[in-house]
Structure 1
Amino acid sequence: MNVTNLLEVEGLTAGYGAAPVLHDVSLTVEPGQIVAVLGANGASKSTLLRALSGLIPVEKGSVRFDGHDLRRQKVERMVRLGIAHVPEGRGVVTELTVEENLRLGGLWRKPQPSLDPIYELFPRLAERRRNEGHQLSGGERQMLAIGRALVAQPRLLLLDEPSLGLAPLVTAQIMALLRDLRDRTGLAVLLVEQNVRSALSIADQGIVLSLGRIVTRHDAATLVDDDELRHAYLGF
């Protein structure tokens, strides 16, 4: 593994049952880098994150994180290595309070991490810490899902559609937070995002998926300026 890469994926093939939907996917993420995974609906972007986090089996290829083989690793082992996954739909436990949800993020860390840094990042969550998940707005739930992942003190955040269903202002706030975390802490992010403009505004690199295959990878500025590529695969 290249020592400059935190995550290194080579020839990944994965899917559901006997039908693979990811085909020969290779990518890298360096420490402190935001890599946006882009593409139309059905491009298998979310499937990629599920395969990386062990939610679906890898049929072929290799997935390595900081030199460790991630295939067939248990979730708690991945968390301890420094990987956190925020799935599409946010995954907040609506019957639990904000504080209880956040504490779930630190279950595999000993001793239990302090929640103070999360409340500093998300003052709104501090205000709502006694509220249950079902009492939160969509934006607050997304903040809670990201905050819960950050409690585990990851080095790599797998983030799936954070802007889904959110107002543009809230989306901009979340994107600004990700950029700030990268700049201040060196957090690496593999970001699946349907809002292409928002994703490319903070990303260092962009990967374009189509029907489960990578069709191109470039720095974010190149993707924004490539009219033919944008019209063919990104819809703007």
Structure 2
Amino acid sequence: MTGALLQVDGLTAGYGAAPVLHDVGLTVRPGEIVAVLGANGAGKTTLLRALSGLVRSSRGRVVFDGADLAGTKVEHLVRRGIAHVPEGRGVVTELTVDENLRLGGLWRRDRADARKALDEVYDLFPSLAQRRTFAGHQLSGGERQMLALGRALVGRPRLLLLDEPSLGLAPKVTGQIMALLRDLRERTGLAVLLVEQNVRSALSIADEGVVLALGRVVARNKASVLRDDADLRHAYLGF
């Protein structure tokens, strides 16, 4: 793999005067899946929100593709190639599948490629193609997750910040989502920073893992090493 696409050093961030993250550092390279793991309250979601500009950092540096992101507005991060799929899937339930997906490409100037990206998402998710006129509230939980992912992919991101994609989903659907992420990485070079409570699933597709506890990095290594470290798993990962 080449050099870092995303480099985070000494990131401290939180809400108001109380920091949630303390001196967090991690690296994501092009075409790499990095899993962020830890118990509830470890700071995983806050990390993604800080990286996408939704939570202000008080210290540290975030560099994407060689550019310091300090002060960059959320909409400009999207244009740079960063897409954030939040926990809870973030689908606009009143809009149809097609309208939700088109939202992901509204900012793009290349309209022909935006239409091509939309078609590619329908190829990735045939069930969405069959339901393109359905409203978001008519979809199953798995279909809503696919829709949220698809909307992010219409923007052709280089880095996907993905928060708890398996939340509330059946194991079979979770497996499909994880397989899709691995396939996208291999075919398109998409980099993924994956926050996930389902540790086994996350480590099965990740190249590297970062373990958070109370907002601090307590372990950072290859996914296979973390998976085989029984003491670490018992102490921080619950299996």
- TM-score band, normalised by shorter chain: over 0.9
Shift of 1:79: 1.0
Which letter does structure 1 place at the counterpart of 2:132?
R
Shift of 1:169: 0.2
Q: Structure 1: how far apart are the matches of 2:5 and 2:169?
A: 30
Matched residue SS, 1:216: strand
Which position in structure 2 is the counterpart of 1:104?
A: 103
Q: Structure 1: how far apart are the matches of 2:57 and 2:120?
A: 35
Q: Structure 2: how far apart are the matches of 1:54 and 1:218?
A: 26
Shift of 1:230: 0.1
Which letter does structure 2 place at the counterpart of 1:67?
G
Matched residue SS, 1:10: strand
Match of residue 227, structure 1, among 205, 218, 230: 230
Which position in structure 2 is the counterpart of 1:117?
A: 120
Q: Structure 1: how far apart are the matches of 2:67 and 2:157?
A: 15
Shift of 1:61: 0.5
Matched, 1:191 2:190: no
Q: Deviations over 1:183-231 (max 9, x none)?
A: 0110000000000000000000000000000001010111111000000
Q: Structure 1: how far apart are the matches of 2:40 and 2:170?
A: 20
Which letter does structure 2 place at the counterpart of 1:142?
Q
Which position in structure 2 is the counterpart of 1:204?
A: 207
Matched, 1:142 2:141: no
Q: Structure 2: how far apart are the matches of 1:179 and 1:68?
A: 27
Q: Structure 2: how far apart are the matches of 1:71 and 1:151?
A: 26
Normalising to structure 2: TM-score of the pair? 0.97
Matched, 1:216 2:219: yes
Which letter does structure 1 place at the counterpart of 2:107?
W
Q: Structure 1: how far apart are the matches of 2:147 and 2:42?
A: 27
Normalising to structure 1: TM-score of the pair? 0.98
Identity of aligned residues (%): 76
Q: Kindly tell me the number of residue pairs found equivalent between the two proteins.
A: 234
Which position in structure 1 is the counterpart of 2:180?
A: 177
Matched, 1:42 2:50: no
Alignment of 1:31-110 (within 5 A): 31-110=30-109
Which position in structure 1 is the counterpart of 2:160?
A: 157
Matched, 1:17 2:20: no
Which letter does structure 1 place at the counterpart of 2:43?
S
Q: Structure 2: how far apart are the matches of 1:142 and 1:190?
A: 16
Q: Structure 1: how far apart are the matches of 2:142 and 2:94?
A: 17
Q: Deviations over 1:43-63 (max 9, x none)?
A: 010000000000011110100
- Where structure 1 has 5 or more consecutive residues not aligned to the other structure, the ranges are none
Q: Structure 1: how far apart are the matches of 2:88 and 2:205?
A: 22
Q: Structure 1: how far apart are the matches of 2:207 and 2:165?
A: 17
Which letter does structure 2 place at the counterpart of 1:214?
V
Matched residue SS, 1:144: helix
Shift of 1:67: 1.1
Matched residue SS, 1:62: strand
Shift of 1:109: 1.2
Matched residue SS, 2:89: coil
Which letter does structure 2 place at the counterpart of 1:15?
G
* RMSD across aligned positions (CA): 0.7
Shift of 1:111: 2.2
